[in-house]
Structure 1
Amino acid sequence: MPQHVEGIVVFKSMLTIAAAAALVVGGALPAHAAPASSTLSAPTSVRVTGSEGDADVTWGAPRSGPRVTGYTVTVTPAESQPNGGVDRLPATARWDHFGALRTGTTYTFAVRAVAAKQTGPAVSVKYTATSAAPTPQALFALDAQGSVVRFGTGSTTTGSTTTGTTVATNGAGYTADDRGDVFVPSADLTSILMYPAGGGAARTVATGLHLTADLRSDVAGNLYWADSVSGSVTMLPIDGAAPRVVADFGTVQYGKHAWVVSRNGIVTAYNNSPFEARIAQRSATGVLTVRAFSYGGVYPVVGGLQSDDSGNLYLTLSQDGRDGQYPWVEVRAGESALTRLTTSDAFEYGATNSTSLRLLRSAGWCTQADELSGTCDIDRSLATELVVGRDGTQQTIPVSGITAGSRGSHVGVATEAGDVFIDVDRAPSAGLWRVPAAGGAAQQVSTAQFTRLLVI
């Protein structure tokens, strides 16, 4: 049954529903049928199964105690896990999923039942993330007709392209989780629809919302959007709880603001006003910090905003004037200053994964005015890739076989392995491209045009 919260109907996570229906381990009775007792007992039949960097924890209801109102599942160590590694789930839950587990690390998962006035004892299980090849990530993109298309992220055959698989039509503002489920705001921007990874009809996740056509997600499957009424960044937790505000932009002037969610759930709201920027950042453990810094001279306009799992921010900025520059800059975690990543001008395509920014840069560059007047012959070929680690280290690797498109802010996506996907909007390299993590020759995925690229 759905929950009714202040006019919002929140349906339990599809994964939680499936777990409640099919993963009651060992034939345990539902929580409300447990024998009456004043002391809440531990969950039963707690197990963990895993594959490489993913683990699923299952359990049955306690055999005695008061009525269960929910469960908490805690993972240790909690690095790279949203919500500080603590998931709070409804009473119907019998399953929880954890991703982004590091190879060779042994994780402890503790499951507790919660009642109105007490928390029961924990049952712990362990899992060691294996060193086998990780499950391939998927690339999603929005085509010219507004449909969400899914591609594989592996190498393409030289000289060939692919059409991908259409997942959903009318997909403006979509996002996806690490299972491959796709979430799309409804046409009236009041509901969220989920298209299951395995196919089948779309299902409603939540209604009664104030959405904008710009959903985001973290690796745990929590959904985010900027509320169309309040303007605040709002989260719909995967456990089926009510939506809650996690960050806000402050006083927005001239609409020069942007926001981003990292894979591990760091939420950042970035707001430009004349001569000043404001950053509100909610950590993966739920701690909100706000910082501001001033500009010298005319303030830039944010064209794109990216974040790694340490909270480092990477922005592509447009600067008015005849030069037509769109440089990438960074704001290190906890700092209050913009720092340009390079000192030379270039056409730049940036993409971020959990550990780095990868910046493709052209061999040549000149001002827009000189280009239009024909007084310069620009070498637009993307010749190098600058890799900026989350610790600030940099390395440059060569790339080839691809040419930059028009001027502008160009935001791509990167797999956890470091492959970069970008869309080029004009000849001679128009279409969707993959640049391998090791650099070298770029590979064309499709000659069609795509927007809103997402790797998950």
Structure 2
Amino acid sequence: MYRALLMAATAAALVIGGAAPATASPPSSVPGAPTSVQVTGTADHAVVSWHRPRSGARVTGWKVVLTPVHRAHSAHRAHRGGTQTDRLPARARSARFDGLRAERTYRLSVRALGHRGAGRVVSVRWTAPEAQPVAQSLYALDASGAVVRFPTSGAGAATTVAADGAGYAADPNGDVYTPSADLTTIVEHPAGGGAARTRASGLHLTADLRSDGAGNLYWADAVSGAIEQLPVGATTARTVLDLGGPAVGPDQRFWTVTPGGRVVVLGGSTTSPYVKGTGVAARSTTLPGSNGVGYPAAVLADDHGDVFVDIRSPGAAGSWAWYELRPGESALTKVEPRLAFEYAAANADGFSLLQSAGWCAAPAEYPISHTGCNVDRSVPEKLVVGPGGTSTTPVSGLTAGSRGPNTGAADAHGDVFVDVDSGPTPGLWRVPAEGGAAQQLSAAQYSRLSVS
């Protein structure tokens, strides 16, 4: 469920060039005053709209200005220097201003421009409403590659947002972003439907966009290897993490972005892995085992500086195990109580892990095996690792499928979403934060789960 984009607002004051609307009479050599000026918006943005003047010269453009109103005795005193100005073509009938502050008052002014000068200004005072809690949504790719949105509450039907979503990202408003086929443009798919539009172009994308909780977009630059960010409202990207060039040879990189905007990269070889990030100390680490062996398979992180690394064991055993790299430490600490078929996810506050009750080595599943892998794959509990320590809650109704890191997604509340690819309970599942009965959202298969 995505946030409603517009909330009706009442114009508190209307001023036209210092004269009352009924008596204002601009010269015929310049356009008249715009009419029907209205403002709508939310706690962080405003949209001002208007109609053409009823008289005056031909309009060649518009000047629209947003200015914070200084209120000396207000507890919510607006900061100075926050003026935003837009110059728009004659066909424009609205302008949007982002980066506003909840419960602050602003003046939005519109005036028509002509060949011989500007018409009179119409100004509207508007106060941004109180910020409202945002209901998050679950996003995933279906079997056709389309981006599908589910309510994280588990109640409500799924909605297809974009038809070709390989490497998609989504923001808190419900807008979805995908890379173009030539990997040079980020395409925006509006939450409410409508035509897709260009968000930014001239880029070196890889087919793997990410987003944080504010809606900033991230990707690994295909030329430089650096992690790039496209801030909310911007059209120009900036480098947030320089990795010294693209990955070459044994340097394999796995990366993630936390809801708070921390970028974490796990890279290097199996003998010399490293962790780098924004808000995370760069350091070398060692893989588990007496000889430091294993193969990194995935990385997750929270907003407290904890990094979680999935390691695939060497040889035929076919085990995957999650380890924690705590702030300031270079040694990995195993967080799993046992080997298992499992599913992992992270949110701002920590790491969640769903493990099967039983496990078997991979050779037991080979056709030549005479014993088979007849273990208990039901998931009995959810393990949570956070700043307050480790806790478990009971889970029922879910049975694990194949082995692997099987990374899912978690919302701010702690609900975990996973896709089970095989076994008696295949499909997309929601495990409540408090545990209990797992809820099946769909019997179909989905990949690349995320929450925004």
Question: How does the TM-score come out when normalised to structure 2?
Answer: 0.71
Which residue pairs with 2:140 in the alignment? 141
Which residue pairs with 2:119 in the alignment? none
Which residue pairs with 1:13 in the alignment? none
Question: Which structure 2 residue ranges, 5 or more long, are not aligned?
Answer: 1-5, 18-38, 49-63, 69-80, 87-95, 107-126
Letter in 2 for 1:194: E
SS at 2:311's partner residue? Answer: strand
1:395 pairs with 2:376: no
Letter in 2 for 1:94: F
Aligned pairs for 1:361-372 (under 5 A) are 361-372=355-366
1:94 pairs with 2:97: yes
**Following TM superposition, by how much is the alpha carbon of 1:206 offset from its aligned partner in structure 2, in angstroms?**
0.8
1:425 pairs with 2:425: no
Shift in alpha-carbon separation, 1:225–1:26, aligned structure 2, 3 A: farther
Shift in alpha-carbon separation, 1:49–1:206, aligned structure 2, 3 A: closer
Shift in alpha-carbon separation, 1:225–1:88, aligned structure 2, 3 A: farther
Between the aligned partners of 1:327 and 1:270, the Cα distance in structure 2 is 16
Pick aligned residue for 1:381 from 378, 381, 388: 378
Pick aligned residue for 1:406 from 392, 396, 402: 402
Which residue pairs with 2:221 in the alignment? 227
- Number of residues paired by the alignment? 362
Shift in alpha-carbon separation, 1:204–1:71, aligned structure 2, 3 A: farther
The alignment-based identity, stated in percent, is 44
**Following TM superposition, by how much is the alpha carbon of 1:341 offset from its aligned partner in structure 2, in angstroms?**
0.3
Between the aligned partners of 2:220 and 2:297, the Cα distance in structure 1 is 17
Shift in alpha-carbon separation, 1:289–1:393, aligned structure 2, 3 A: closer
Shift in alpha-carbon separation, 1:180–1:89, aligned structure 2, 3 A: farther
Pick aligned residue for 2:297 from 303, 325, 328: 303
8 Å CA contact 2:256–2:299 kept in 1: the answer is yes
Aligned pairs for 1:127-276 (under 5 A) are 134-156=133-155, 164-240=158-234, 242-250=236-244, 252=247, 253-276=249-272
Q: Pick which of 245-254 and 165-174 moved more.
A: 245-254
**Following TM superposition, by how much is the alpha carbon of 1:150 offset from its aligned partner in structure 2, in angstroms?**
0.9
Which residue pairs with 2:277 in the alignment? 281
**Following TM superposition, by how much is the alpha carbon of 1:152 offset from its aligned partner in structure 2, in angstroms?**
1.3
Q: Deviations over 1:197-243 (max 9, x none)?
A: 11101010111111000001112221110011111111112231521
Letter in 2 for 1:365: W
Q: Which has the larger radius of gyration?
A: 2
Over aligned residue pairs, what C-alpha RMSD do you find? 3.6
Q: Deviations over 1:154-201 (max 9, x none)?
A: 2359xxxx5x21111111000000000000000110101000111101
Q: Deviations over 1:408-433 (max 9, x none)?
A: 11101111111111001112111111
Between the aligned partners of 1:145 and 1:248, the Cα distance in structure 2 is 34
Shift in alpha-carbon separation, 1:329–1:392, aligned structure 2, 3 A: farther
Which residue pairs with 2:283 in the alignment? 291
Between 1 and 2, higher relative CO (CA 8 Å, sep ≥ 6) is seen in: 1
8 Å CA contact 1:88–1:239 kept in 2: the answer is no
SS at 1:199's partner residue? Answer: coil
Letter in 2 for 1:290: A
Between the aligned partners of 2:303 and 2:41, the Cα distance in structure 1 is 25
SS at 1:335's partner residue? Answer: coil
Q: Deviations over 1:358-401 (max 9, x none)?
A: 11111111211234322552111111110111x15111111011
Shift in alpha-carbon separation, 1:274–1:408, aligned structure 2, 3 A: closer
Between the aligned partners of 2:233 and 2:128, the Cα distance in structure 1 is 22
Between the aligned partners of 2:347 and 2:341, the Cα distance in structure 1 is 21
Between the aligned partners of 2:384 and 2:165, the Cα distance in structure 1 is 32
1:333 pairs with 2:323: no
Between the aligned partners of 2:83 and 2:448, the Cα distance in structure 1 is 31
Letter in 2 for 1:266: R
Between the aligned partners of 1:229 and 1:89, the Cα distance in structure 2 is 37
8 Å CA contact 1:324–1:407 kept in 2: the answer is yes
Shift in alpha-carbon separation, 1:137–1:28, aligned structure 2, 3 A: farther
Between the aligned partners of 2:168 and 2:412, the Cα distance in structure 1 is 21
**Following TM superposition, by how much is the alpha carbon of 1:337 offset from its aligned partner in structure 2, in angstroms?**
2.1
Question: How does the TM-score come out when normalised to structure 1?
Answer: 0.71
8 Å CA contact 1:148–1:169 kept in 2: the answer is yes
Shift in alpha-carbon separation, 1:452–1:179, aligned structure 2, 3 A: same
Between the aligned partners of 2:372 and 2:138, the Cα distance in structure 1 is 40
Between the aligned partners of 1:299 and 1:440, the Cα distance in structure 2 is 37
SS at 2:282's partner residue? Answer: strand
Letter in 1 for 2:315: G
8 Å CA contact 1:233–1:269 kept in 2: the answer is no
